[in-house]
Structure 1
C-alpha cells in the first residue's frame, strides 16, 4: 500500500474538519425527514387524523434505522479493508441518492401507493448510508486525533451530527418566514431535500481530499480480514454490550431530540413554528456542550461520563416529560429540554470514541458500526413509533417510563465495561508491531 505524507499540524486539523463537515451534511439529510415530517405526512399518507399520518411517516423513519445494520455491516467491512476515507466518501454518494429521490417523488394524489413506496426506498438508501457513516466517522476521528485530546476532537462527531439536525431546523425556520404553511405543505417541504442533495455532492468533493489515518495504514496490506464472523468470534460479549448501550443511548437521543419536536406539537399543544424555535434554541446549547464533555473525558476518563448519563437520565426522564406535557411556556420548555440534553451530552460526546477504543484497528469500523446499528434499529429508530403508539392507546406516560428503563439498563452495562482512555493507543502500537 502506498504511503502518504505524515499527518501533522494543519493537515491533521484539515482532515478532521473535512470529516466533520461531511458528517454534518449526512445528518442534515437524515434529519430533514424528521424536521419536515409534520408537513409532508399528508402528501404520502392521506388521513383525517394527524396521529395516523405521523404514524405512517414514523414507520418509514424506523425502516431507515432497520437498514442501518446492513449499511454498518457492508460499509464497516469496506472501511476496514479499503480505508476510512473510502467508506466516508461512499456514504455520501448513497445519501445524495436518497435525498434527491425524496425531493423529486410525486405525492400520493399523483401516483397513488407508489409514492410511499418510493419514499420507503429513499429512506432505505439513507439508512444504509448513515449505518456506515457512524462507524467510519467515529473511527476516523478517533484515529486522526492525538491521544491526549482524543475525547475533545472525537466529540465533533456529535457537534456536526447535532449541527446537521440544527441546520434542518433552521431551514424550517427560514421557510416558515418565506412561505405560508399551505405552501410548505404543498411543495415547500421538497426544498430541504434538494439542498441536502447538493450539499452531499459538495461534501463528497471535500472528503476525497482528506488524509487516510495512520492507524489504518500501519496495519499493512496483510491485515486480518474484517467480517461479521471474525467480529462475532473474537468479541461476542462486547458486541452484545455495545448493542445494548447503543440501543439505550439512541432511544434517549431520539426521544430528547427528534421526537421532542413532535411531542411539543402533538402533546404539549405548541404550534409547529413555536416547537421548531424551542428545539433550535435547545439544540444550539446541546451542540456547544459536546467539546466540553469530550475534554472532561480526556481528563477523568470515559466511564464517569457514561455513568453520569445513565444515573441522571434514569432519574430525570419521567418527570421532565410529565412537566413538558402540561406546560404552555416556551421558556420553561427550553429549560427542561436543555436539562435533558446536557445529561445526554455526557454520553453523546464520546459514545463513538468509547466504542472505537474497545477494538483493534483492523476490525474497528465494523466493530463500532454494526452493534451500534443493531441497537439503534431496535430502540432508537422505533422511538417515535413507540411513543405515538402509546399516545394512540391513551397511555402516553408509558413511553416516559420506557425511555427511563432503557437508560437504566445502559448503566448496568457501563459498569461491566473497562475504562478505555488509553486502550486505543495500545491497539495502535500493537498494530505497528504486526500483532493486531
Structure 2
C-alpha cells in the first residue's frame, strides 16, 4: 500500500489550479487523501529523525567520548577535541550533498533516502563498538573520525532528498507547513536522545556510564535504521520518470534518470543558479548557528562551564527540543501566510537582541530553572528562524535539481558554522576568558545571515514547478 493516494502531488496541485481558474475555490482534499499525506509526512520525517538521532546523540556524550578517546591534559582541550570531532562529520556534508543529492535527482528521492539510512547505520555501528584509546591507542580516535565522516556524508544527502519530497507533497499554500516537519523530526530526535541520556546518567553509576552506558544510544540508533528503511518503502516517488511509468516520463521535459549523466544536476546548478547558492548559503548560517548553539551546545556548556550535573544539564536539550517540536509547525504555517522573508528577518533580529542577555542570566544565576527558562525562550526564536529558512532553500531550485541544490546550499552553511559551532564557542571562551563568548558567535552569524535577505525572492504561495 502506498502512503500517498492518487493523484500524485503535482496532479493534485494542477487540479486545484484548474478549479480556481474555473471560478471556484480550490478543491479540498478528501479525508482519506489528507490521511494518506499525514502518513507520508510521518514516514519521511521518521526516517529523517532516526538519522539525526544517530548524528546528534554524539553531542550529548561529548564529555565522556572526549575522556575515553582523546586523553589529553586539560578538560577544556579534551572537550574541544571531542566537539571538534563532532564537527568533522560536517566536513563531508557538502560532498554527500553533491553525490547523494545528485543521486536523488536521478534515481529518485526514495532510493537516496534508503541509501543514507544504511550509511548512517554503519557509522553508528562503528561508534557503538569502537574500543577506547586505552585499548588500541591512536586507532581509537581515528575510528570515531571515520564514523563521523560516514554519518556526515549520509546526512548531506538526506536533508535535501527528504525536504524536497516533503515540499513536493504539498500545495503552493502549504509548503511551509509541510517543510516544517523536517525541523520537527530533528527536534523530536533530540527529545528522545536527551531523555535517553538523562535516563542513563540518572540510573547508571559514573563508572558504568563511562564503561558501556554511553554506547547504548548508538546501538539503538544502529538497530532502528532498517526499520526506517522499511517504512519508507511505501512512499510514492515525486520525481517524474521514476516509478511513475513511461507515459509520464515521456510527457515531461526531464530525461529519464538512466539517461541523465551523473554530473548533470551539479553542472546545471552551478551554471544557472550561482546567485541562489550564494544567498541561500549565507542565510543558512544564522539558522544553523542558532540551532546548534541553543539546542545542542548549551547542555555541554551547562556541564563544563556552569558545572551543573549531567542529568540536569541534559534537560536543557530536552526543553529546547520540545519547544522546537511545538513551534516549528506554527512557524511553517506563519511563513505560508506572511512570507518566508518577514518571519526570518523578525525572528533573527529578536534573537540578536536576546542571546547576550540570555547568556548573562545563566552565568549570573547558574541553576537548572534559569537554564531551562533561557533555553525555552531562545528555542522559540530558533524555530521561527530555522523553519522558514529550511523551507525556502529547496524552493529556490527547479524539481530536476532540487535535491542537489538544497543539499549543497544547506550543507555549505551547516558544515562550518553549525558543525563547528560548539568548537568555535569553546575556543572563544578559552582565548577570551569570557563565558559569554558563545553569544558573540551567535550574534555574528545572525547578522551575516540577514544581509542576503533583500536580494532573495519571496517564495511563499508561489508555484515552484
Normalised TM-score (structure 2): 0.87
Structure 2: distance between partners of 1:111 and 1:365: 40
Per mean C-alpha deviation after superposition, the further-off stretch among 346-355 and 210-219 is 210-219
Q: Hey, what does 2:332 align to over in structure 1? A: 294
Q: Report whether the alignment pairs 1:422 with 2:461.
A: yes
Q: Report whether the alignment pairs 1:62 with 2:96.
A: no
Structure 2: distance between partners of 1:81 and 1:182: 49
Q: Report whether the alignment pairs 1:251 with 2:289.
A: yes
Q: Report whether the alignment pairs 1:390 with 2:428.
A: yes
SS at match of 1:146: coil
Normalised TM-score (structure 1): 0.93
Task: Work out whether residues 268 and 327 of structure 1, in 8 Å CA contact, stay in contact via their aligned partners in 2.
Answer: no
Task: Work out whether residues 216 and 361 of structure 1, in 8 Å CA contact, stay in contact via their aligned partners in 2.
Answer: no
SS at match of 1:24: helix
Q: Report whether the alignment pairs 1:22 with 2:47.
A: yes
Q: Hey, what does 1:273 align to over in structure 2? A: 311
SS at match of 1:124: helix
Structure 1: distance between partners of 2:351 and 2:102: 34
Q: Hey, what does 1:221 align to over in structure 2? A: 255
For residue 388 of structure 2, the aligned residue among 332, 340, 350 is 350
Q: How does 1:158-177 map to 2 (within 5 A)?
A: 158-177=183-202
Task: After TM superposition, give the deviation of residue 6 of structure 1 in Å.
Answer: 3.1
Structure 2: distance between partners of 1:292 and 1:147: 17
Q: Hey, what does 1:434 align to over in structure 2? A: none
Task: After TM superposition, give the deviation of residue 22 of structure 1 in Å.
Answer: 0.3
Q: Hey, what does 2:76 align to over in structure 1? A: 51
Deviation digits for residues 65-91 of structure 1 (CA, Å, limit 9, x no counterpart): 111000001011001111111111111
Task: After TM superposition, give the deviation of residue 319 of structure 1 in Å.
Answer: 1.8
Structure label with greater radius of gyration: 2
Q: Hey, what does 2:442 align to over in structure 1? A: 403
Per mean C-alpha deviation after superposition, the further-off stretch among 106-115 and 395-404 is 395-404
Structure 2: distance between partners of 1:25 and 1:395: 36
Task: After TM superposition, give the deviation of residue 215 of structure 1 in Å.
Answer: 6.1
SS at match of 2:322: helix
Structure 1: distance between partners of 2:311 and 2:267: 48
Deviation digits for residues 59-116 of structure 1 (CA, Å, limit 9, x no counterpart): 1111101110000010110011111111111110100000011001111011000000
Task: After TM superposition, give the deviation of residue 334 of structure 1 in Å.
Answer: 1.4
Structure 2: distance between partners of 1:240 and 1:392: 32
Task: Work out whether residues 116 and 157 of structure 2, in 8 Å CA contact, stay in contact via their aligned partners in 1.
Answer: yes
For residue 178 of structure 2, the aligned residue among 153, 171, 186 is 153
Deviation digits for residues 130-158 of structure 1 (CA, Å, limit 9, x no counterpart): 11111111111111123322211211111
Task: After TM superposition, give the deviation of residue 250 of structure 1 in Å.
Answer: 1.0
Structure 2: distance between partners of 1:117 and 1:29: 18
Deviation digits for residues 368-390 of structure 1 (CA, Å, limit 9, x no counterpart): 11021111112111111111111
For residue 412 of structure 1, the aligned residue among 442, 447, 451 is 451
Long gaps (5+) in structure 2: 9-32, 243-247
Task: After TM superposition, give the deviation of residue 5 of structure 1 in Å.
Answer: 5.1
Structure 1: distance between partners of 2:284 and 2:176: 18
Task: Work out whether residues 425 and 441 of structure 2, in 8 Å CA contact, stay in contact via their aligned partners in 1.
Answer: no
Distance change >3 Å, CA 300–CA 75, structure 1 → 2: same
Task: After TM superposition, give the deviation of residue 222 of structure 1 in Å.
Answer: 4.5
Q: How does 1:63-82 map to 2 (within 5 A)?
A: 63-82=88-107
Per mean C-alpha deviation after superposition, the further-off stretch among 79-88 and 244-253 is 244-253
Q: Hey, what does 1:85 align to over in structure 2? A: 110
Q: Hey, what does 2:275 align to over in structure 1? A: 237
Q: How does 1:330-349 map to 2 (within 5 A)?
A: 330-349=368-387
Task: Work out whether residues 315 and 372 of structure 2, in 8 Å CA contact, stay in contact via their aligned partners in 1.
Answer: no
Q: Hey, what does 2:233 align to over in structure 1? A: 208
Task: Work out whether residues 135 and 365 of structure 1, in 8 Å CA contact, stay in contact via their aligned partners in 2.
Answer: yes
Per mean C-alpha deviation after superposition, the further-off stretch among 107-116 and 41-50 is 41-50
Task: After TM superposition, give the deviation of residue 214 of structure 1 in Å.
Answer: 6.0
Task: After TM superposition, give the deviation of residue 272 of structure 1 in Å.
Answer: 1.0
Q: Report whether the alignment pairs 1:372 with 2:410.
A: yes
SS at match of 2:237: coil
Per mean C-alpha deviation after superposition, the further-off stretch among 356-365 and 341-350 is 341-350
Alignment: residue pair count: 423
Structure 1: distance between partners of 2:442 and 2:198: 29
Task: Work out whether residues 190 and 317 of structure 2, in 8 Å CA contact, stay in contact via their aligned partners in 1.
Answer: no
Task: After TM superposition, give the deviation of residue 398 of structure 1 in Å.
Answer: 3.5
Long gaps (5+) in structure 1: 429-436
Q: Hey, what does 1:138 align to over in structure 2? A: 163
Q: Hey, what does 1:112 align to over in structure 2? A: 137
